[in-house]
Structure 1
Amino acid sequence: MAVVNGGVKRAVKAALGQGLLSLRVHRMIEADRGLIVVFHRVNRFPTTDGLTATPEKFEEFCRFFSRYFTVVPLTTFVQALEQGRSVGGMLAITFDDGYLDNYEIAAPILTRLNLPATFFVTTRFIDSEIVPWWDQEIGMVFPWMNWDQVRALHAQGFEIGAHTRTHQDLGLVGGAAALDEIQGSRFDLEDQLGAQVQLFAYPYGREHQIMESNRDLVAQAGFRCCCSSYGGSNTKTTSPLFVRRQPISTWFSSPFELGYEFAALKI
C-alpha cells in the first residue's frame, strides 16, 4: 500500500507541477533561484539504485529543461555566483563518475538538443575495470569511459570537471589523503586534456560527507566551485564553494514532478 500511495503522490505532484509551470508561476520563483542537476548513468538496464535514467527519460528531462529554464554551462552559472549576479531561471546539467554511457548515449542526445553539460570524472575509474561498491551491491557492471572518449567530450565543447581520483568519501578522509584525491584528480585531468580544469564535485556529496577542511583544500587546489549532491537550488548569494545540485534519475516520475518541487519552493 505504501508503494501505491507513494506512486499516487508522485503522479499528483507531476500533474500539479505541469499546471503550475503552465501558468508560469515558475517565472516568479526563477527570479532568484537557479538549478544545477546531476545525472549518473543513461542506459536501458533497469536498476534499483536510482542512478540510471533511460535514454527516453533523459531526453524528456532535457526537453523540459530547455522549455522552462535557460540551460547554461556550469562555468557560466559559477561565474554569475562569483559576481553576485542573479542565477534566476538558469539550469546547468552535470554528470558524475565517468560511465561509458555518458559518452555513447547522453552526449549525443545533448548535442542533438544543443545543450551544454559538465562531466565530472573520477580519474582512476577511467580506462579501468573497477566495479565500485554501489554497482557491486546491485550486481551490475557498467563500463567506464577511456581517456580518448573523455578527450572527445572535451573536444565537442562539453566541460570536464574533477570528481576525485578514487571516489573517496571526503567526510571520512582528510589531510594529505584528501589533498591527493582532490588536487591529484585535477592534475590527472589537466595532463590528459591539456587544458585547465576548474570545476569540482564531491563524491557522494551529502552534507555529512563534506568536511570544511576539505572544502578549503578544494579552493587551495585552484577549483572555482565545489558541487554537492544533496539537493536544493541556488541564489545569487550562494557561495561557489557551497553549490547545491539536485540529483535526477528515477527519483522523479516525470520532469513535472521536479517542476512541482521547484515551483513549491521546496528546492
Structure 2
Amino acid sequence: MDLKRIQMKIESLMGLTGHRWKNTPNGLYSINLHRVGDLEKTSGDPNVFSCTEEQLSAHLAFMKTQFDIVSLNEVKEFIAQPSLLSKRRCMTITFDDGYADNYECAFPILKSHNVPAAFFIATGLIGNSVLPWWDKVAYILKHKQLKQVQLKSWKHPVCFKGDMKLFIRHVLKEIKATGMELEQQIQELEEISAFQGLYPTPEFMDWEQLKLMHQQGMTIGAHSHHHYILSALTDEDILFELQHSKHLLEKHLGINVNAFSYPVGNQSTYNDGVIEALKSSGYELAFNFRPGVNFHIDKKRYDLHRFPIEPNMTPDDFKQMVSYAKVY
C-alpha cells in the first residue's frame, strides 16, 4: 500500500475526510463516464460501464449541490480569463466513446436535471458495423472461457481467477501496455483461442442522435477516429486520427469541433508530439483520463484532468477521491 493510501485510510478512521472535502480548492473539476446501464447484460467489455441509470441520476443530483455545472463553452472562457475560475468550484460532465446508451439512457437523465455535458466521439465507431477492439477482446474471453492468455509480446500470462470482469481488465491492460498494433494483437488472440465465430452487433450512436443531442444543448467533441493509442502511432497517423475525426463531426453535424479527449487517456498514451498535432489541427483544449483538479487551466488546457465515475460509487467515495487529488 502506498503512502497516499495509508494516509487516506488513517484520516478516514479519524473522521478527517469530511474536513478535507469542505476545504477542497476552487477550480475546474471534471467527471468522466463511458457506458450507462447494466454491465451484467453486455456481451462486450463490462469495465466500460460507469453506472446504472439510477446511479447517474443520483450522481447528478449530488453534483448539482456541490458544484457549478458548466459547459465546455464556459471552460473556454476560463482558459481565456483564468481569474473567472479562481472564486468558483465548477464541474464539467463528460462521456467518452459514443455508445448508444449515452443517447438512450444518459441524455434523457441529463435533460431531466437540466445540466450540460460533453460527448467525445470516436468517429470510426459511428454508423460502423465493426466492434471496437476492447469489446472484441471481452467477447472472446467470455465466449471461449479461457483460463489464461499470453500473447507473444507479453512477459507473463494473465490468468483467470474466478472474476471475468477483472480478467478482461487485466488482459486489456497488457494489450495497451505493449505498444504494438492493436489489431495485430486481436488477431493473435483470435488464433490462440481458436475463435472463428461472428462478433455481436456494436452498440453506438448514429449521426442523427448526435445531431439531436447537440441541438438540445450538449457539446460534441472528438475522441480520435479509430480509438488507437496515439503515442504509439506515426506522426502522419496521429494527424489523421485528429483531423479526420474533427472533419467527420463537423461535416455530419454542422458544428465547429475544438475539444478533444485522449483515447485511454493515461500518461503514456499522449505526449508533446500529440499535443502539437492537436494545436495544429485547430483544437483548443483536451482532456486526459487522470484524476486531478484543474486550476492553472490556461497553461494546462491540452492536459485537463478528469475524475472517473465507477460502478456503485457513493457520494462518500467521490468525496474521498476528490479530497486527496492533486491540483494542476
* TM category, shorter: 0.7 to 0.9
Identity %: 27
Equivalence for 2:94: 94
Residue 64 of structure 1 deviates from its aligned partner by 1.3
Tell me which amino acid in the other structure corresponds to 1:30: P
Unaligned runs of 5+ in 2: 143-199
CA distance in 2: counterparts of 1:79 and 1:136, whole angstroms: 40
**2:125–2:226 contact (8 Å) kept in structure 1:** yes
CA distance in 2: counterparts of 1:43 and 1:222, whole angstroms: 34
Asked if 1:120 is matched to 2:120, the reply is yes
CA distance in 2: counterparts of 1:26 and 1:74, whole angstroms: 25
Tell me which amino acid in the other structure corresponds to 1:83: Q
**2:293–2:325 contact (8 Å) kept in structure 1:** no
The 3 A distance-change label for structure 1 pair 181 and 241 is same
CA distance in 1: counterparts of 2:118 and 2:214, whole angstroms: 9
Residue 220 of structure 1 deviates from its aligned partner by 0.8
The 3 A distance-change label for structure 1 pair 48 and 188 is closer
Higher relative contact order (CA 8 A, sep 6+): 1
Asked if 1:192 is matched to 2:252, the reply is yes
Equivalence for 1:29: 24
The 3 A distance-change label for structure 1 pair 146 and 51 is same
CA distance in 2: counterparts of 1:174 and 1:112, whole angstroms: 43
SS at match of 1:240: coil
CA distance in 2: counterparts of 1:257 and 1:155, whole angstroms: 34
Equivalence for 2:321: 261
CA distance in 1: counterparts of 2:252 and 2:232, whole angstroms: 28
Deviation readout 1:31-71 (Å, 9 max, x if unpaired): 3x321111000012336425331111111111111011111
Tell me which amino acid in the other structure corresponds to 2:39: F
CA distance in 2: counterparts of 1:195 and 1:148, whole angstroms: 13
SS at match of 1:150: helix
**1:35–1:91 contact (8 Å) kept in structure 2:** yes
What is the TM-score with the length of structure 2 in the denominator?
0.71
Tell me which amino acid in the other structure corresponds to 2:293: S
Asked if 1:217 is matched to 2:277, the reply is yes
Matching residue within 145, 151, 160 for 2:205: 145
Unaligned runs of 5+ in 1: 1-5
Equivalence for 1:40: 34
Residue 133 of structure 1 deviates from its aligned partner by 2.1
**2:121–2:224 contact (8 Å) kept in structure 1:** yes
Deviation readout 1:174-228 (Å, 9 max, x if unpaired): 3111101001111000001111111111101111100211110101111110110
**2:21–2:320 contact (8 Å) kept in structure 1:** no
SS at match of 2:233: coil
CA RMSD of aligned residues (A): 2.7
Residue 266 of structure 1 deviates from its aligned partner by 5.1
Equivalence for 2:268: 208
Within-5 A mapping of 1:131-142? 131-139=131-139
Deviation readout 1:235-259 (Å, 9 max, x if unpaired): 0355211111112122x63132111
Deviation readout 1:75-122 (Å, 9 max, x if unpaired): 212320232222641000000000000000001000000010000011
Tell me which amino acid in the other structure corresponds to 1:44: D
